[in-house]
Amino acid sequence: MIYINKITNIRPMEERKEYPYNIPAILHLDEFEFKSNVTFIIGENGSGKSTFIEAIAVSLGLNPEGGSTYLNYRTYDTHSTLFNDLKLRRGPYRNKDSYFLRAESFYNAASELDRITDYAKMLRNYGGYLHQRSHGESFLGVILNRLSGNGLYIFDEPESALSINSLYTLMVKMHELEKKDSQFIIATHSPILLAYPGADIYTITNNGLEPTKYEESMPYLLTKQFILNRERVLKELLSEEE
Ligand SMILES: Nc1ncnc2c1ncn2[C@@H]1O[C@H](COP(=O)(O)OP(=O)(O)OP(=O)(O)O)[C@@H](O)[C@H]1O
Ligand SMILES: [Mg+2]
């Protein structure tokens, strides 16, 4: 299901001179269309993935540090003002659930949830208190228990907390949620997650967001190169400079 089908950057080109408007992901963004239930945004560290998807999350009324609409707290006010300039066009259907899952500030979101919620509700929605479990366990606890379908889900590098097995679990859950009319927008570096069937992949380049085939994506190519030629890659990386 596609709940948001288009993003338009209404800021005029001549006013895109400062952060966050001048980063490649945003500078060349005038219109972006979501065409699949699952959209991946990839690109180097610092290319603007988090800035881009955080702006979408904030435009939807979600907390910039992660969580749902109802989790209204703020530790550091670092989120960008970009959301004022990105206009989202919604499709004909309304999502009933939404969640912004953000690995880098998950600890803060987890602390706040544990603090404000009674145990019975935590057990029902998240599988228990989040800080009584490891990073990956609590991350998976949110994914498996809290997300209920008919949802718009935005994940920022979900793989960073997860083992490969847990990543498989995430993909199974995504499949279940996709069948229950959900839309996913995900920033990732994971060549495994990127293989999710039927997903669209966009790479942030100096020219903006470019559609990319799985087999041509950097996470896939670099991982393949490493696994197939591990010794040669390591030798090149670690050889002493003459
Ligand atoms: N408050 C800020 N002021 C100025 N520049 C910033 C600010 N926050 C982030 N940046 C810059 O914006 C760029 C995009 O950052 P962003 O966090 O969106 O990258 P990313 O693609 O999510 O990277 P990663 O893969 O490391 O998570 C980076 O070059 C970063 O240094
Ligand atoms: Mg990021």
C-alpha–C-alpha distance, residues 66 and 105, integer Å: 7
- Please tell me the predicted confidence (pLDDT) of residue 194: 98
pLDDT digit string (tens) for 108-131?
A: 666 666 677 777 777 777 777 767
The SS3 assignment for 80 reads coil
Residue 138 has pLDDT above 90, yes or no: no
- pTM for the model stands at 0.88
- Domains of the chain, CATH where assigned: 4-213 (3.40.50.300)
pLDDT digits (tens, 9 = 90+) for 8-42: 999 898 888 888 888 888 888 889 999 999 999 99
pLDDT of residue 156: 93
Q: Which residue, 182, 212, 185, is CA-closest to 49?
A: 185
CA 15, 16, 17, 18 torsion-angle sign: positive
Query: CA geometry: angle at 95 spanning 90 and 100, to 5°?
Result: 95
Is the minimum distance from the CB of 51 to ligand 1 under 6 angstroms?
yes
Q: What pLDDT, on a 0 to 100 scale, did the predictor assign at position 82?
A: 76
Q: In sequence order, which residues have a C-beta less than 8 Å from that of residue 70 and are 6 or more positions away?
A: none
Nearest to 158 by CA among 71, 38, 70: 38
Q: Are 217 and 203 in contact (CB under 8 A)?
A: yes
CB of 43 within 6 A of ligand 1: the answer is yes
Nearest CA to ligand 1 atom 28: 46
List the strands of the sheet with 208-211, edge to edge.
97-102, 151-156, 183-187, 38-42, 200-205, 208-211
Cα(126) to ligand 2 centroid in Å equals 24
Cβ 77 under 6 angstroms from ligand 1: no
Look at ligand 1, atom 2, and give the residue with the nearest C-alpha: 19
pLDDT above 90: residue 200? yes
Least confident window among 39-48, 70-79, 140-149, 209-218: 70-79
